[in-house]
Amino acid sequence: MDRIMTNCLDKGFYKFQKEFEDAAVRVLRSGWYIMGQELERFEGEFADYLSAKYCVGTASGLDALILACRAVGLQEGDQVIVQANTYIATVMAITIAGATPVFVEPDEYFQIDVDKIEEKITDKTKAVMVVHLYGQAAKMDRITEICRKHDLRLIEDCAQSHGADYQGRMTGTFGDIGCFSFYPTKNLGAFGDGGAIVTDREEYRDQIRMLRNYGSKVRYYNEEVGMNSRLDEIQAALLSVRLKHLPQLTEERREIAERYLREIRNEKILLPECREGAGHVYHQFVIRCKERQVLIEYLKEQGIDTIIHYPIPPHLSKAYAYLGCHKGDYPITETYADEVLSIPMYNGLTTAEQERVINALNQF
Ligand SMILES: *Cc1c(COP(=O)(O)O)cnc(C)c1O
């Protein structure tokens, strides 16, 4: 019996092989590889898809977050409120920008607990960084209200939430800036690294366009110390192809998730919950199990791979030892880190494979 892996990227290529190959060859033959019409077109298409005014491509999701932090003016000494159970890149963007992360525990949907934000606000708080983890929107009506009330900038980490909405509005369009990753495993994945920001504010767009290209608007006239963080033409062209199919790809993920939610029945396994009004795009399908290590081994024997997102929360990682956090500081986050498990969820996972996953979990 074939192994069921946690992802299978070649399936995503072969599904639209001809379109991807045509796009790549078109760019190769054009003689123009950086900052050209493919990028401009993709930026327009992605902004339209989200109903955002502007999109600016970047070299990665982390860069998109770093550039967003700089554009909203984060500085040394500023505090940024962020959920404790995120992928570490979210926190790295904050600290690379020179600011300090202030962690908040997640709610039962794995998103920032909106009832615990205001108690963390100080006179140094400058922004909230919200992460729509695993593909489900955070409670954006409350979050935007809190940010407005306290005059805080709002940055959204949408690296896992392409196409996820809250009450009909796309994630990435609630805050000042929405940040996306096109890392190959993401719901909208490139064939290499890539990222983008979206915003409705012209000054943020112009600032990030300048910063991604060595701080210059006009070639060789540099206004600020910028970065080299451009989304190249081949990736942009390939992303245009994938974006066209994203609604269909999202639908496929939702169907797999609905089947998992309907058919997985085991007292030892907690299934993910869906927030009222939040359109989940199931970047990951994350279950919880107190006997996680036993479950991992058992599934492995059945030929089913799983993965943990994430085993060590940022506040306990070696990289952030200098923040001085301790085990027990964020008990909900730490419990999630001990219990969460992502089961196979990707475009191209066959119904027979889904059935094997369901049966194995039900027999555990
Ligand atoms: C993937 C990811 C990032 C970073 O994106 P890269 O393109 O890998 O730099 C940031 N935040 C979250 C939540 C992610 O999942």
pLDDT in tens, 209-231: 999 999 999 999 999 999 999 99
Residue with token string 């600020």: 224
The three-point CA angle 223-233-249 to 5° equals: 120
Ligand 1 atom nearest to 183, measured from its CA: 7
- Going by C-beta distance under 8 Å and a sequence separation of 6 or more, which residues neighbour residue 264? 271, 287, 358, 361, 362
Q: How high is the pLDDT of residue 239? A: 98
| Predicted pLDDT at 1 | 74
Arithmetic mean of pLDDT, 90-102: 98
Nearest to residue 227, comparing CAs of 19, 28, 66? 66
Give the Cα separation of 363 and 302 in Å (integer).
Answer: 11
Residue listed under structure tokens 């992460």: 131
| Residue bearing the CA closest to ligand 1, atom 6 | 61
- Alpha-carbon distance values, 104 to 12, 119, 129, 325, 350 (Å): 36, 10, 11, 13, 38
**Test site for ligand 1: of 66, 157, 197, 283, most ligand atoms within 8 A of the Cβ:** 157
Distance 345 CA to ligand 1 centre (A): 18
Tell me the CA–centroid distance for residue 61 and ligand 1, in Å.
Answer: 5
pLDDT in tens, 277-297: 999 999 999 999 999 999 999
The pTM (predicted TM-score) of the whole model is 0.98
Q: Hey, which of 183, 191, 235 would you mutate to test ligand 1's pocket, going by the most ligand atoms within 8 Å of its Cβ?
A: 183
Question: What is the 181 CA–ligand 1 centroid distance (Å)?
Answer: 6
Q: How far apart are CA 269 and CA 226, in angstroms?
A: 47
End-to-end Cα spacing for the chain: 19
Q: How far is the CA of 359 from the centre of ligand 1 (A)?
A: 32
Does ligand 1 have an atom closer than 6 angstroms to the CB of 181? yes
Q: What is the pLDDT of residues 172-193, one digit of tens each?
A: 999 999 999 999 999 999 999 9
Q: What is the pLDDT of residue 72?
A: 98
- Alpha carbon of 287 to ligand 1 centroid (Å): 21
Ligand 1 centre to CA of 94 (Å) is 13
Neighbours of 338 (CB within 10 A): 14
Write the residue with the smallest CA distance to atom 10 of ligand 1.
89
Distance, CA 47 to ligand 1 centroid (Å)?
A: 19
Provide the mean pLDDT of the chain.
Answer: 97
Asked if residues 235 and 180 have their Cβ atoms less than 8 Å apart, the reply is no
**Residue 64, pLDDT score:** 98
268 Cα–ligand 1 center, Å: 30
Which two tokens mark 328?
A: 């027990």
Kindly state if the Cβ of 62 falls inside 6 Å of ligand 1: yes
Which residues pair with residue 127 across a beta bridge?
80, 153
Cα distances from 125 to residues 43, 144, 304, in angstroms, run: 31, 15, 44
234 CB less than 6 Å from ligand 1? no
Q: How remote is the CA of residue 22 from the centroid of ligand 1, in Å?
A: 28
Q: Is the CB of 86 under 6 A from ligand 1?
A: yes
Nearest to 159 by CA among 177, 191, 186: 186
Residue 112 CB–ligand 1 contact under 6 Å: no
Residue 77 exposed, middle or buried by CB count within 10 Å (0-12, 13-18, 19+):
exposed
CA neighbor of 180 nearest in space, from 250, 241, 132, 227: 132
With a 6 A CB cut-off, is 183 part of the ligand 1 pocket? yes
342 lines ligand 1 (CB under 6 A): no
The model's pLDDT over 129-188, given as tens digits with 9 standing for 90+, comes to 999 999 999 999 999 999 999 999 999 999 999 999 999 999 999 999 999 999 999 999
Residues 285-336: tens digit of each pLDDT? 999 999 999 999 999 999 999 999 999 999 999 999 999 999 999 999 999 9
At residue 110, the pLDDT reads 98
The number of the ligand 1 atom at minimal distance from the alpha carbon of 87 is 13
